Structure 1
Amino acid sequence: MRVFIAGGTGFVGEHVSHELLRQGHQLRLLVHRRGAPPESVEQVEGDVTRPEDFGRAVAGCDAVMNLVGIIREFPGRGVTFERLHVQATANMLAAAKQAGIRRYVQMSALGTRPDAVSSYHRTKFRAEELVRNSGLDWTILRPSLIFGPKDAFVGMLARQMRLAPVAPVIGSGAYRLQPIHADDVARCFALALEMPATIGQCYELCGNDRLRYVDLLDAVAAALGKPAPFKPRLPLGLMKLAIPALQGIPRFPITMDQLQMLVEENICDGRWKQTFGFEPKGFKEGIGEYLTQ
């Protein structure tokens, strides 16, 4: 297939693009700036929030894939959940329809629901609703916390622990996460593209390891060859008062949306494996492959 991809140069997008190429697909990527693409990859300069930039470039493809997403807003730069989750999805769907393309695959996020507290999850759900009501042959994938080389979250924790054996914990630290490797997410996207059984379905993707946050911190330290870090507790109530006043600072490490998503947990039942037919990479094994380099 020739696949048009928005978000194909980001962290997850690079893994998905590599897997699609490995499976023999041809790619047409929407990019902000042209680079030197590998063979079987075309590049189209444009912005996913400006359909006039890329609408015509979708023609001639067999499928459309939207991997665009942000975890933090910067309204002064026009980087908002509304624009990058909802409007971008509307633009991608419109371009697919105009080009007569039926197959459409969307990346969402585990925890997405209409009554979510976080704006991140609410806008992800609104984007999903656009996809569900599009009339296209759609599939939605909802990954949990994604880890792998160049990831943001585990990489940030590792950088902190390399500087000092201290890892502050907000609240109890007993909230659970079920991370999944970026290669496994990519494999699901590539498989879904050609599996008719996935049309009209939404899958929650998570790994096999269900870890408390405090245990995840210990696993990262162990992968670095370090002892378990000191974990000073930051009272949840106090952080809920402090973060709104500080989250506007770009270098401040957490927003209220991110805090909410962290403490409400990020786990799933793993039923996706029944459809896609493989076991995901373990968290400790996976981070050990790149944190020790």
Structure 2
Amino acid sequence: MILVTGATGFVGQALVRHLVARRRPIRLLLRPGRKSLQLPKGVPIDAVVCDLGDERALAAALRGVTHIIHLIGAERESSRASFERVDVRATRALAEAAAKAGVRRLVYLSHLGANRASAFPLLKAKGIAEALVINSGVPYTILRSAVTYGPGDQFITGLATLLRRTPGFFLMPGDGEMLLQPLWIGDLVEALDIALEYPPLENQVISIGGPEYLSLRQIVGQIMDTLHLKRWVINIPLGSLKILALILDQWRGFPMSIYWLDYLSSDRTTSLDSLPRVFGIIPARFHQQITFLTRSLNPSAGWLGTQEAL
């Protein structure tokens, strides 16, 4: 039995669909008060509503579980995020419960740049959570992922929504030359599935990304080409843009988390051959998959061009 946390999120929903299609037995750990997951119809799936701070309920949720994929994170909540509660304390509780339950593998999804000494709250929280997993005594695999995109994502879809909603211009963070390595959601969930039981990945921290390095300026350009938009690109210092983002973030419909600006503070890349070499996956190129934007954006949806996946 595979326990999935964060199953209502962007990655979680794609992973659930993938595991169901593979006929993998799964149980979803849902936090109280979260929105309902759109589950595949006609397929039996266990779901447990459990606060990760409830030790007894968590032990019951882990009964019969052999593997865990831990996706939960607070970054989508933007300025309202509590990394200490969601990323750190929840991971500590899950890792301790997994050790007691004799779980055979804990797969944790982290970010490129995760470091417990980072000056950026999100990357610091991910680094601390990684250490908790590593020191738990449970066999683990940690995937440090590049920026992931697909229907319902917050970064690429968020950029596309901003481009469509702003009249004639786009505020480019910094000089726009920071390098990213966009990873298609289908390739990420395939890697997560493989990481569950692949012996060479036990007790490993693996960095993964897409098959090409693209600057933010190139990514924005490809989004505009795909959506047939023309915008005047204005460079603005990251610090100034973060202040503006904090103001705009007071509207809950704002399509991006302010923590993406921290992510853009430097290049976020890894080896181009990580997925083929480690997982045997030939990753999709950005221009091959970005057409999803033409299907997923809703011109009448206000700031949010897609249904928000929490």
> Under a length normalisation based on structure 2, what TM-score does the superposition of the two structures give?
0.84
Report how many aligned residue pairs link the two structures. 288
Give deviations 1:184-231, integer Å, cap 9, x for gaps: 11000001112111101111111112111111101111111334x210
Judged with a 3 Å threshold, the aligned counterparts in structure 2 of structure 1 residues 37 and 55 are, in CA distance, closer, same or farther, namely farther
- In 2, the alpha carbon distance for the partners of 1:24 and 1:18 equals 10
SS at 2:95's partner residue? helix
- In 2, the alpha carbon distance for the partners of 1:255 and 1:277 equals 32
Shift of 1:72: 5.2
Structure 2 residues not aligned, in runs of 5+? 297-310
| Counterpart residue number, 2:128 | 126
Judged with a 3 Å threshold, the aligned counterparts in structure 2 of structure 1 residues 149 and 52 are, in CA distance, closer, same or farther, namely same
Indicate conservation of the 8 Å contact 1:48/1:92, yes or no: yes
SS at 2:123's partner residue? helix
| Counterpart residue number, 2:213 | 210
Judged with a 3 Å threshold, the aligned counterparts in structure 2 of structure 1 residues 74 and 153 are, in CA distance, closer, same or farther, namely closer
Matches for 1:146-225 after TM superposition, within 5 Å:
146-163=148-165, 164-225=167-228
The answer on 1:85 being equivalent to 2:84 is no
Indicate conservation of the 8 Å contact 1:69/1:84, yes or no: yes
Give deviations 1:13-43, integer Å, cap 9, x for gaps: 1111122222221110012366674414111
Letter in 2 for 1:123: A
Q: Which moved more, 1:53-62 or 1:179-188?
A: 53-62
RMSD of aligned C-alpha atoms? Answer: 2.4
SS at 2:232's partner residue? coil
Indicate conservation of the 8 Å contact 1:29/1:44, yes or no: yes
- In 1, the alpha carbon distance for the partners of 2:259 and 2:57 equals 31
| Counterpart residue number, 2:138 | 136
Judged with a 3 Å threshold, the aligned counterparts in structure 2 of structure 1 residues 35 and 18 are, in CA distance, closer, same or farther, namely closer
Judged with a 3 Å threshold, the aligned counterparts in structure 2 of structure 1 residues 206 and 64 are, in CA distance, closer, same or farther, namely same
Indicate conservation of the 8 Å contact 1:49/1:84, yes or no: no
SS at 2:111's partner residue? coil
Judged with a 3 Å threshold, the aligned counterparts in structure 2 of structure 1 residues 16 and 243 are, in CA distance, closer, same or farther, namely same
- In 1, the alpha carbon distance for the partners of 2:199 and 2:291 equals 36
The answer on 1:50 being equivalent to 2:54 is yes
| Counterpart residue number, 1:95 | 97
Q: Which moved more, 1:12-21 or 1:257-266?
A: 257-266
| Counterpart residue number, 1:41 | 45
Indicate conservation of the 8 Å contact 2:10/2:153, yes or no: yes
SS at 2:228's partner residue? coil
- In 2, the alpha carbon distance for the partners of 1:116 and 1:35 equals 33
| Counterpart residue number, 1:15 | 14
- In 2, the alpha carbon distance for the partners of 1:154 and 1:111 equals 19
Q: Which moved more, 1:116-125 or 1:19-28?
A: 19-28
- In 1, the alpha carbon distance for the partners of 2:109 and 2:12 equals 10
Judged with a 3 Å threshold, the aligned counterparts in structure 2 of structure 1 residues 74 and 192 are, in CA distance, closer, same or farther, namely closer
Match of 1:114 among 116, 123, 139: 116
- In 2, the alpha carbon distance for the partners of 1:221 and 1:185 equals 25
SS at 2:108's partner residue? strand
Judged with a 3 Å threshold, the aligned counterparts in structure 2 of structure 1 residues 11 and 190 are, in CA distance, closer, same or farther, namely same
Judged with a 3 Å threshold, the aligned counterparts in structure 2 of structure 1 residues 36 and 236 are, in CA distance, closer, same or farther, namely closer
Letter in 2 for 1:286: Q
> Under a length normalisation based on structure 1, what TM-score does the superposition of the two structures give?
0.89
The answer on 1:275 being equivalent to 2:278 is yes
Shift of 1:233: 1.7
Indicate conservation of the 8 Å contact 2:181/2:212, yes or no: yes
